[in-house]
Structure 1
Amino acid sequence: MNYDVVVVGGGPAGLAFARSLAASGLRLAVVEREPRDALADPPCDGREIALTHRSVATLQRLGAWERLAPGDIAPLRAARVLNGGSHFALAFDAQGQGDEKLGHLVSNQAIRRTLFAAIQDQAGLDILSGTGVATVQTTRKRAEITLADGRLLTARLLVAADSRFSAVREQLGIEARIDRLGRSMLVCRVSHERDHGGVATEWFEHGHTIAMLPLVGHQSSAVLTLPSDAVRRLADLDADLLGVELTRRYGARLGAMRVTEGPHVYPLATSWAEHFAATRAALIGDAAVGMHPVTAHGFNLGLQGQATLARLIAEAAARGGNIAAPLLLRRYEAAHRMAARPLFTATNLLVALYTDERPAARVARHAVLRLGAQLPQVRHGVSRLLMQH
């Protein structure tokens, strides 16, 4: 089974990349261990994705955005950052940016469903579902991929999109710095008494972090971050008691909360691949960079990275060039590292500061928020970053 490009991983990054090459004339395969039914109608995983305007434009080009139902899309009009018991909030909005919204919130489930719908009848694309990858090997001539069911695939280029713990990356010999943070996120959908106004909140309370992401109507996605053992105990509560606990931890700012879906638990880890490309291979999505979710930019960065690689490949294919040329892959790596490094570094610094419970750190993080509020150019710069990446 010979292909031009084999993509390992049928998550959003892998599906978007395959769709980005729809007009390239290349023969593609996406390998995904989940069965086809789970790709076509993925289960709810509780994750809500904060999409920037750039990401929305990308999904529109891919033919996925228009497949979303109106109820799938919630406007994100502003964001507020709170620290401890202070009533002060650092605010970010779209004022002066030419749009009334910072972005949109759409569930990961809906994005995956619409991306799969966009590619399932794509000419020149095979979706090899229900099987994983056993081994991969690349040489200067080709990539060889042996599937778990024994089939052998060959390709001019191998693209890994198989998570921040990528087995393909490991087999390619690419080292990655993985930081298992010892904390977990508890994610669930809640209904509440008061209107959120389309405002997202990130509250760095002492001992925990709670985010509320505004959904359609009087609903939000509650994201609570705690040490992993504490999260597991909360996840074992029944829905009524969990709703009471979330209401308490959020200071009843939206009134009483009731859990309507979930909870889902995700151990937190960040990752950074030492290289984003190798001989006849490239990494996209979380296989390249696994972001901490606090700034909500992991998905947007992954979508941007796959678009960069797909554009370079499509241009090479159009002129009859080598789609896996070392120079092409180096150009992709350089561009994506330049886009990812500042976000990755800044996010990790933010997490380190706002999870440090020492008295000096508590004083410092409040001072940082106050300083940000006094510097309009900083707030506007962050707003542009939130809207564009």
Structure 2
Amino acid sequence: MDADIAIVGAGPAGLSFARALAGSGLSVTLIEQQPRAALADPGFDGREIALTHASRKIMEDLGLWSRIAEADVSPLRDARVMDGPSLFAMQIKAAAAGHDALGYLVPNHLIRKAAFSSLMDAGEARLIAETKVTGIERDGQGVQLALSSGETLSARLIVCADSRWSETRRMLGIGAATKDFGRSMMVCRMEHEVDHDHVAWEWFGYGQTLAMLPLNGLRASAVLTLPQGEMQAVMALEGEAFNAEMTRRFDGRLGAMKLVSTRHVYPLVGVFADRFAGPRCALVGDAAVGMHPVTAHGFNFGLQSQERLAGRLIQAVRIGRDIADPGLLADYDRAHRTATFPLYQATNLIASLYTDERVPARLLRKAALHFANRMVPVKKAIAAHLTQAV
């Protein structure tokens, strides 16, 4: 047996999962298509991750948080949700959940870098970079993985962490429900004139969706969601033309805006796997649940999935239980499904409603925001869910 556990995908979820197993006595091998250098020092990808208090605690326990400079962590104090051209906004305040901040904004590439360095410093996991899994066979004794290098890797358990478009999940015969929102999301950093006071915006406009994620100083991560054809026209703009276009799209509410980073576009597709575990296999991260970003929980769910699975495997080792025991894997499946399915469905509903341009939908959108803003218990519940304090 080459390893106890083979992890396919060395993104944040896969790296964190491997790091969580350090010291457990289990041998771990990660298989990743990217070069080692790209994992050690990933480039800026535009994404700013909204971390809950629970996710910060997980990252602290894994030795990730201390590797991120304080200047790169932006507090997310409160949030505003707006609809159409109206100045009215539903206010979600951290104080409603008894905290100074709803969470923290950290660049995705710095989380990846911290996860990689923490794992490498632990010195227990083996990394096979620039390699793909080309075939999988399972039997009662273990799993055999055919690699693009021509080699074969044997393991007791395979864990898929290779994105919401996981090829490994498909090889295992696990389907997934997908929700294609027919939109693309552009993310970039912008400087602006008006202070954001570390309050995030989610602005469901007509014909577009905007988000403003407050970074330290007079900077923000600007998120623009449009149909692909319209997005191509925006991406074709350069220099002052792009700055003027973004200032216009934000209705001048942040003053003049100026691009200060590269721009990145991602398709908006939600994914929920039919199963999170099976014979000698399990899914973590986006391979299990790929969220629409509107509720900002996708990465947090990914961290929680690896923690749920790692905790069960470590306990199994302690009591001498097979790490691929069907009951153990089924328990992980139930726990993670229960934790994610309601919000996954609610997120898809919100995203679908607030991009519906028909008159009845517009009226319902406004009514829902006004109703929620008046209901203090509802706003407290939303704040507590966003905060996920521990």
TM-score scaled by structure 2? 0.98
Matched residue, 1:145: 145
Query: Where in structure 2 are the equivalents of 1:177-326 lying within 5 Å?
Result: 177-326=177-326
8 A Cα contact 1:26 1:124, kept in partner: no
* Deviates further, 238-247 or 207-216: 238-247
Amino acid at match of 1:155: A
Matched residue, 2:340: 340
Residue deviations 1:78-126 (CA, integer Å, cap 9, x gap): 0000000111100111114232000000010010000101001324310
1:384 counterpart = 2:384: yes
Q: Distance in 2 between matches of 1:269 and 1:337?
A: 19
Amino acid at match of 1:104: Y
Deviation at 1:335, TM superposition (A): 0.1
Deviation at 1:30, TM superposition (A): 0.9
Matched residue, 2:351: 351
Amino acid at match of 1:21: L
Q: Distance in 1 between matches of 2:58 and 2:246?
A: 35
Deviation at 1:10, TM superposition (A): 0.5
Q: Distance in 2 between matches of 1:121 and 1:96?
A: 39
Deviation at 1:318, TM superposition (A): 1.4
Deviation at 1:179, TM superposition (A): 2.3
Q: Distance in 1 between matches of 2:149 and 2:311?
A: 32
Deviation at 1:266, TM superposition (A): 0.4
Deviation at 1:388, TM superposition (A): 0.6
Q: Distance in 1 between matches of 2:148 and 2:216?
A: 42
Deviation at 1:347, TM superposition (A): 0.2
Structure 2: tracts of 5 or more residues without a match: none
Structure 2 counterpart SS, 1:26: coil
Determine what percentage of the aligned residue pairs are the same residue: 48
* Deviates further, 116-125 or 78-87: 116-125
Q: Distance in 1 between matches of 2:117 and 2:12?
A: 12
Aligned-residue CA RMSD (Å): 1.0
Q: Distance in 2 between matches of 1:116 and 1:23?
A: 17
Query: Where in structure 2 are the equivalents of 1:50-199 lying within 5 Å?
Result: 50-199=50-199
Q: Provide the aligned length of Structure 1 versus Structure 2.
A: 389
8 A Cα contact 1:185 1:266, kept in partner: yes
Matched residue, 1:39: 39
8 A Cα contact 1:294 1:351, kept in partner: yes
Amino acid at match of 1:295: T
Q: Distance in 1 between matches of 2:314 and 2:265?
A: 39
Amino acid at match of 2:45: D
Q: Distance in 1 between matches of 2:233 and 2:324?
A: 48
Q: Distance in 2 between matches of 1:100 and 1:42?
A: 31
Structure 2 counterpart SS, 1:261: coil
Q: Distance in 2 between matches of 1:177 and 1:137?
A: 24
Amino acid at match of 1:158: I
Amino acid at match of 2:2: N
Q: Distance in 2 between matches of 1:223 and 1:239?
A: 18
Q: Distance in 2 between matches of 1:306 and 1:165?
A: 18
Structure 2 counterpart SS, 1:265: strand
Matched residue, 1:23: 23
Structure 2 counterpart SS, 1:121: helix
8 A Cα contact 1:182 1:227, kept in partner: yes
Structure 1 counterpart SS, 2:225: strand
Deviation at 1:326, TM superposition (A): 0.2
Amino acid at match of 1:28: V
Q: Distance in 1 between matches of 2:124 and 2:196?
A: 45
Structure 2 counterpart SS, 1:262: coil
8 A Cα contact 1:39 1:116, kept in partner: yes
Structure 1 counterpart SS, 2:362: helix
Deviation at 1:15, TM superposition (A): 0.5
8 A Cα contact 2:29 2:127, kept in partner: yes
8 A Cα contact 1:25 1:124, kept in partner: no
Amino acid at match of 2:299: F
8 A Cα contact 1:138 1:281, kept in partner: no
Query: Which structure 1 residue ranges, 4+ long, deviate > 4 Å from structure 2?
Result: none
Deviation at 1:233, TM superposition (A): 1.6
Matched residue, 2:48: 48
8 A Cα contact 2:80 2:91, kept in partner: yes
Q: Distance in 1 between matches of 2:45 and 2:123?
A: 30
8 A Cα contact 1:142 1:280, kept in partner: yes
Residue deviations 1:294-353 (CA, integer Å, cap 9, x gap): 111100011111100000000001122100100000000000000001110110110111
Amino acid at match of 2:59: L
Structure 2 counterpart SS, 1:351: helix
Residue deviations 1:162-202 (CA, integer Å, cap 9, x gap): 01111010010011112222210011100111211000000
Q: Distance in 2 between matches of 1:378 and 1:259?
A: 36
Q: Distance in 1 between matches of 2:140 and 2:356?
A: 47
* Deviates further, 295-304 or 120-129: 120-129
8 A Cα contact 2:181 2:352, kept in partner: no
8 A Cα contact 2:96 2:379, kept in partner: no
Q: Distance in 2 between matches of 1:156 and 1:239?
A: 54
8 A Cα contact 2:51 2:300, kept in partner: yes
8 A Cα contact 2:160 2:169, kept in partner: yes
TM-score scaled by structure 1? 0.98
8 A Cα contact 2:96 2:383, kept in partner: no
Structure 2 counterpart SS, 1:55: helix
* Deviates further, 10-19 or 175-184: 175-184
Deviation at 1:216, TM superposition (A): 1.1
Structure 1: tracts of 5 or more residues without a match: none
